Structure 1
Amino acid sequence: MKKLCALASLGLVSAPAFAGGLYLYETGGEDVGLANAGMAARAQDATTVVSNPAGMTRLDGDQLSTGIQVLSGNADYQLSDSAAVSGDSPGNVVQPFPSASLYYSHSVDDRLKVGFGFYGNYGLALHYGDWAAASLVKDVTLTALTFQPAVAYKLNEQWSLGAGLGINYGYFSLNRDTQNGEQKEKDYDWAANARVGLMFEPTQTTRFGLTYASAVEYNFDVKPDATLSYTFHPLPVGPGVTVTKDVMLPISGYVNTPQQVMASAYHALNPRWAIMGNLGWQDWSKYSDSTVALRGNEIAGDEKLQDTWHAAIGAQYQLSEKLRLNSGVAYDTSFYKSQSNASLTMPSGAAWRWGVGAQYQLDQQSSLGVSFEYLRMQGSTVQSPTVGGDFDANHLYFIAANYSRKL
């Protein structure tokens, strides 16, 4: 199969990060209600298998965590007046999408822990439908399934190390109209990535976490070019002329996911209040000068992309012996150097997240939680003579529920 650089993660039922450059930290766990603040340091349940494998050393015995999540929202694309194609715009390209996750941590002894996770926090699912350029793209989907075994070891009372191996199954599909009816291309591949974590606990109330995740490459055999017919009206406006043109679909960017680093901190102010935060980085600029091959067509990077940065802050409040409340806010920079030079299949931009949630202790062994998060993403403009237009500010909504149990 022809090479096409691809994403880093993963999903039991993968939640779509409907744009490249927007890494979804949401996997249905308690982190959703915190806008994922403190994700590499919190280590309060088995989801730490993925957020920071070293955090397993803080868990007693064997623990299981599961999560379910529904993502919905709006990313509205409208063709510009100067676009060569005329007709309907696709409108909202985001569809409701459910996902699920599962995590397990096992204590070999007081120092050595092993575990695994199935989770989904990256992918893509866009529905353009029967719009003016349906012969270019109607639906495009990129999802992945990952199984990540992990191990952690407590060096001493302050330091812990952890590592995991992501075994990723990726699936890509592209639907569009042709003269012979609707055409669907699909392909799949396996890939691997590594995740390593470090945790430092200077006191019983303060801890710091650091994680690194490597990039992943899939190989998909897809056809990026299509024949697009439209009516051209020369100036001064005269009789319409039908033009047939080969157009290259900009799909190289969203299938790349770079290496990334996340640093987190957690501090309990007192028995009721705790605060936490993140600082993160993703190496998106690597793909501005990369070249990928799609079914023999070499596509050079167009230098649109830049590295992205992430910051988050959150708080937990123990309202009662059984009920804990969560809230957080996060900000991610855009991977575009300019929002006025975006790609059709990558409606990405700087993003704000606001999360709220609650975790209820059912008994000594189990807890149940619910969370809601709102994500607002910066709009962007597609500079294309044929299908150019604008994405309005995008809005995503996450509704999640989780269950954790000590076995």
Structure 2
Amino acid sequence: MHKSFVRGGQLGILVGALASAPLMAGGLFMYEVANDNAGLANAGAAARAQNPGTLASNVAGMSYLPGTQIVGGLQLLHSNLEFTQDSNSNVPGRDSGTLMEWAPGGSLFVSHELDENWHVGFASYGDFGLAIDYENDWSGRYFTQNDALLGLTLQPSVAYRFNDQWSLGLGLRAMYAMLESQLAIDNTPLDLRNNPDGTMTYKSNDWGFGANLGVIYQPWQGTRIGLNYASEIELEFEDALSPEGLSPLINNGLQAAGIIGADTTLTMNVPQTLTLSLYHALNEQWAVLASANWQDWSRFGHVGVQIDSGNPVSATADANFKDTWHLSLGTQYQASKQLLWNLGVGYDSSPVSDEDRTFTMPLGSTWRFGTGLTYALDPQTDVNLSYALVWMGDMEIDQQKQLPRNDPKRVSGEIEDAWIQAVSVNATWRF
């Protein structure tokens, strides 16, 4: 009885929850990586080639950087993401609380000119993943409690400039990814007694590898067109599910099913992307910038789950993700010899439809508004302060799951006026 109860009910819930856990975090690529790109909302990112930060958006841009240059930056993310349940919810509990308070980040970009044709560089940055933290006693705790997927990219790169018009770049990308997911387990699914909830935690890390390939075409001085392709990166997380505070009924059932202590493998793919950008100087003071971007989220939406136990379980969760598109426009104004002003606006389509939005995937279409100032302290040193607001608006979520013995759980409500803001400070040194 215990074995069929767990495998038919709680195990299915665990598989579904773990499979979707990475999706929220990974479903958000951040163009803000602690460099001046934040102030342009990604406009012109693959064509600007103005400092080593181009390593994150088009490695071919290094061919326009003389000497040795270094960019180091720090960034803070802050959000207004709070779920409020409505009268359709039947799970007792409070609202979610703020899902993300403050999240720090940093980056380092280095480029070096070997000769008039060859450039090499190195980048360390994080543009993939996010972490959300719900209140322990919130109403949706049986769907998810805490989720975090953080990816750090290390990228050695090389660029070659054929002539005044064409440049090509290649970056080898190594991503170190960390995944942690936790959800509450209902210890009273049969309503026999009022037991406190238990928890189930999954925590793992992995290395994945890919490449960035970029090209820049400069038809004439002051105008550049850039195209960058970032390949897919496969990540495979492996760990055992860690239970805590389970009732004897649930614990014995999981033990009998071979779930506790069994290796659990999650397989996912960081999306491939393609970016086309334009940089055009109108005169010595004004420049216009634009970008169009495609991201392959439909493939990322399929997450493989395998539980290697006495009764192996293998499944693929389909989150109904769809590919996304990004468009952005921006401008730069050289107010003086020392001061440069950046301004940009961008739009990203949603990777999920409204009916497929879940608590592990509180995602929607986004508007980006960015601005920033770069000040030249001297010919060798610049400092930049940038701000970006990522606006998601209102996002309704209505999620249900059927527990055994006709014990359905439903949590419904809305994340209202959702936004994420990023503040970054960085400096460029030239030698």
Residue identity opposite 1:144 in structure 2: G
Alignment pair present for 1:137 and 2:144: yes
Q: Post-superposition shift, 1:91?
A: 2.9
Residue identity opposite 2:96 in structure 1: P
Alignment pair present for 1:278 and 2:291: yes
**Structure 1 gap segments, 5+ residues each:** 8-15, 230-244, 247-251
TM-score (norm 2): 0.80
Question: Closer, same or farther in 2 for the Cα pair 1:194/1:44, shift >3 Å?
Answer: same
Between the aligned partners of 1:212 and 1:380, the Cα distance in structure 2 is 34
Q: Post-superposition shift, 1:83?
A: 2.9
Between the aligned partners of 1:168 and 1:191, the Cα distance in structure 2 is 5
Aligned match of 1:327: 343
2:307 pairs with one of 295, 298, 303: 295
Q: Post-superposition shift, 1:301?
A: 4.0
Aligned match of 2:322: 306
1:75-123 CA-to-partner distances (Å, cap 9, x unmatched) read: 1123343333111121321221010000000111011000000001111
**Structure 2 gap segments, 5+ residues each:** 1-14, 186-195, 247-252, 255-264, 402-408
1:226-277 CA-to-partner distances (Å, cap 9, x unmatched) read: 9999xxxxxxxxxxxxxxx99xxxxx99964311100000000000000000
Aligned match of 1:232: none
Q: Post-superposition shift, 1:181?
A: 6.3
Alignment pair present for 1:199 and 2:222: no
Greater helix fraction, Structure 1 or Structure 2: 2
Aligned match of 2:180: 173
Aligned match of 2:4: none
- 3-state SS in 2 of match to 1:305: coil
Question: Closer, same or farther in 2 for the Cα pair 1:78/1:387, shift >3 Å?
Answer: farther
Between the aligned partners of 1:354 and 1:226, the Cα distance in structure 2 is 43
Question: Closer, same or farther in 2 for the Cα pair 1:83/1:181, shift >3 Å?
Answer: closer
Is the 2:151–2:176 contact (alpha carbons within 8 Å) kept by the matching residues of 1?
A: yes
Q: Post-superposition shift, 1:305?
A: 1.6
Between the aligned partners of 2:342 and 2:204, the Cα distance in structure 1 is 40
Q: Post-superposition shift, 1:184?
A: 4.2
TM-score (norm 1): 0.84
- 3-state SS in 1 of match to 2:32: coil
Aligned match of 1:237: none
Larger Rg: 2
Residue identity opposite 2:273 in structure 1: Q
Runs (4+) of structure 1 exceeding 4 A deviation are: 4-7, 16-19, 176-184, 222-229, 252-256
Q: Post-superposition shift, 1:190?
A: 1.0
What pairs up with 1:232-247 in 2 under 5 angstroms? Answer: none
What pairs up with 1:243-392 in 2 under 5 angstroms? Answer: 256-288=269-301, 290=302, 292-296=304-308, 297-302=313-318, 304-336=320-352, 338-378=353-393, 379-385=395-401, 386-389=409-412, 390-392=414-416
- 3-state SS in 2 of match to 1:340: helix
**Residues 363-372 or 377-386, more deviating:** 377-386
Alignment pair present for 1:399 and 2:423: yes
Is the 1:6–1:218 contact (alpha carbons within 8 Å) kept by the matching residues of 2?
A: no
Aligned match of 2:45: 39
Between the aligned partners of 2:54 and 2:281, the Cα distance in structure 1 is 18
- 3-state SS in 1 of match to 2:429: strand
Question: Closer, same or farther in 2 for the Cα pair 1:19/1:349, shift >3 Å?
Answer: farther
Q: Post-superposition shift, 1:341?
A: 2.3
Aligned match of 2:234: 217
Residue identity opposite 1:100 in structure 2: G
1:299-318 CA-to-partner distances (Å, cap 9, x unmatched) read: 43436221100000000001
1:44-84 CA-to-partner distances (Å, cap 9, x unmatched) read: 00111221000000000110001111000111123343333
Report the count of equivalent residues.
375
Seq. identity, %: 36
Alignment pair present for 1:60 and 2:66: yes
Is the 1:19–1:348 contact (alpha carbons within 8 Å) kept by the matching residues of 2?
A: no
Alignment pair present for 1:78 and 2:84: yes
